[in-house]
Amino acid sequence: MDRRFSHQEHQQRFSSRPDSPGQVPTYINGLGFLPQTPRQAEYRALVMQYNILLFSILLLYFLRVISPAPIINIMAMLGLDITINPLTNIVNMSVFSAQIVQILTQIVYMGVPTAVILLFGRRLGFSGQLFSKPNPGTTRYSVLILMGTGVVAAIFTRLFVGILQESGVVVLQESEVPPTDFSAFLLFCFSTTLLPAFLEELLFRGAILHSMRRFGDIIAIAVSTILYTLVQPSFDMMVYAFVTGLALGYFTVRSGSILAAIAANFASKGLRVLQLIIEQQFSEEFSAQIFCLIGIVLLLLSLFLFGWFVRRDSRAFQLYSVDTCLTNRMKIKALITNFGFWMIVVLAFFYVIPYIQIIG
């Protein structure tokens, strides 16, 4: 829900403890221990939250790389039709088994960081209701508006890829092929539409955005969009994720729930699967014409509904920002500083790991 805090409530939120309100000590160079000011308390809480989020994103990267191997081994031991050559470690599996492994991998590498953020968020006082009923009058047309935003993001992505290719940069775009087996096809649809839509929104518009809302909605949307963009596997997907992430974050804040964002993300991914199916059945030129027509219809419909939404809601462009003690510029600066710190940690780890020897 769209919870608003007064200035006194916000100061008490960051500067007091139940046993001694306003007397939390902090060390200041040259002055010793003095009572912590609301500004210092908010900055320390912000830095702590940034460290939790950045650690969780690094954990996502790490799990995305290492989780397939143990999952494949576990599924092979459970009797799934997976064979592993002990000499070459080459894995052979059916399309059905590959879809099972993909589903479990997504659950692990996106579910664990979400659990970490929610766990630490509860200890830091985060109690957002992610699946609450959306606020009436704000998300009635949001799904179609967000799908139109996806069309705009796809246009920007095509322009970005075209500019890179004209500059001589090779952009590799993965092309998935839906399986022909019915059971594997159902799992393919689930693993490429509903499951990633739910997990992405639960992590980025749920755990990350809601945990950052106490520092202001603008910062919450910005941080969730930046992190959502960074985890994408390619530059073209980063452009698409940045544009759609801003819109998804906006409507999540306006509605107070991630349900509309999940529905919009699911619909966009469903259109992508439908495009792959049509491309299998018809020529590339015919399928491009069909989806060009669908994109134009969605774009025009979303523009009309967005105009209707803005006209009916006088506060459509107003995002509530908590009366904090830090400026947005200082909050972004703290994010960049903490991001740089974690990048140094990662680079140091990659530098040291070749020299680590396990003596057994």
pLDDT per residue as tens, the chain (360 positions): 444 444 444 444 454 433 334 455 665 555 555 667 778 888 888 999 999 999 999 999 999 999 998 999 898 888 888 888 777 778 888 888 889 999 999 999 999 999 999 888 776 555 556 767 776 666 667 888 888 999 899 889 888 888 877 877 666 666 677 888 888 889 999 999 999 999 999 999 999 998 898 888 899 999 999 999 999 988 888 999 999 999 999 988 888 788 889 999 999 999 888 888 888 888 778 888 888 899 899 999 999 988 888 887 777 777 765 667 888 889 999 999 999 988 888 888 878 777 765 554
Measured CA distances, 27 to 13, 15, 31, 36, 324 (Å): 20, 15, 8, 8, 22
> Token digits for 10?
């916000």
Q: For the whole model, what pTM was predicted?
A: 0.85
Distance in angstroms (rounded) separating the CA atoms of residues 152 and 293: 14
Under 8 Å between Cβ of 47 and 16? no
* DSSP secondary structure code for residue 215 in this structure: G
> Token digits for 183?
């059971």
Q: Which residues pair with 91 in a beta bridge?
A: 84
- Look-up of token digits 């809302």: 213
Q: For residue 165, with 0-12 CB atoms within 10 Å meaning exposed, 13-18 middle and 19 or more buried, which class applies?
A: exposed
* DSSP secondary structure code for residue 91 in this structure: E
Sign, CA torsion 327/50/113/184: positive
